[in-house]
Structure 1
């Protein structure tokens, strides 16, 4: 495993953190006539609207590359497991650290992904876009025959795993996008993303005291809202797990281990918010969630890669993760 990474800068002095949400827009779809193997993004001749490239659903064709350390990638690992797609879409897991170039497969024998043969995920991006101009991010779906990246659009990936791969879901797979609550769920997920998932990064990568203070207030306003919401309901949308829970869980799982100290989100710990802590433990103990979490990889990723925040790259030994296995009592709801 790599022990050092090239220094990368995530903090821009005097500025608030602004996440680049421009991803490869391709989708893998099941609808006949809409799917095709390869297509460049083009504009409709009459309307000017972008036509998003689509690829066909084919079991065994694609490899999901998702580092367990990354919360955005963690979502796709959980959804793949919940839906029973392990034998349909293979999984490659880069190690927890990366340099300015790319995530690397340093956990695999000889440091290469056993299916793609790559040392770096960057190679899959360059196989499709030789001069790819943005960051090499996870999760990424790779077309195994061509070894070229298909998409790295993380919210669309989990959406399509549910809607487009339904034919291959296990029989008792959960309904992650229930029609009866979908409109409200979209509102909840938007707030969770802007204020919590991305909110911890706004705190950690703030470039001034003023931008940090504003980010901190926004984050804990949202966490207080979630604490209240989860006091009398087991999950975000009621009595069943949805995509909204997957999206919130990956941030909560990292909160005390990383965000509380490393990102200065320290008004209180997760374990000091009774409803959220019980909810997080409930999910952690649900098949598909807890086994996707590797606290040592998570800590190593943040404390080593973010060398502008933690220049010594010392990884803390705590906190004790045993509390995640304690009874949560949420089934009473």
Structure 2
């Protein structure tokens, strides 16, 4: 059986031209309190990979240079890295906007009881995973009790001003090999149901297409649905989405400090390379360092450009 990486390597996907780099998306490690079937990084409670202090020092130095506008922290559960809070504090002192990609259940884990207050105190924008507003669907995808814990987390964040003067966005992933529904209509449904049933408010819903890589890609292969899903993505390709793909202004950094064009390339092991073929790291990163280097593309890039488009900020097309 072919691996996911082998199936995605050959592509006719169009070349992508970089624009101005202003966002560092940093994967702080694969340790997580959950193991979700759609997770493209294979995160879980038994993973031990975590970014260490010297690399966090390098990130802090980069943010002090003034060209980084946004720090986007992901994982795993990024909050489980012991360096998470030090990095957030340093970024905010440097005037950098910070995003935390939070699974909500981490807020009720032992040892993280003050996490919500920390995020609020430092005005961290939250992207919170909630794949459905129905309990059965969430627990089926993420495990029994996850929905209740997520709602409690949202209520805790609402009490601290999130959804009002502090920003919290919810993240939707389809449960199977299909494109997300229209983002605006789904957001309206989420807001209505969560407000009526749980008195929960949030700012935006972002829909993200499941990428045919890592755990989700392997599941597609095992079920014989990989080719069908790729056909779905390719047939829904929209050239107009190329102008807004996240790899034009973002660089992804793994827990070892290696640079990638996006978090998905990171999981495929496709780093950004210089003209001599050397994989670049944080030590190479400067404001204009990547301008002349091509974006590495593959078959999975159709996931970002299919239908309404997809990025870590949600749909690309209104």
Greater Rg, structure 1 or structure 2? 1
TM-score, normalised relative to structure 1 = 0.31
TM-score, normalised relative to structure 2 = 0.32
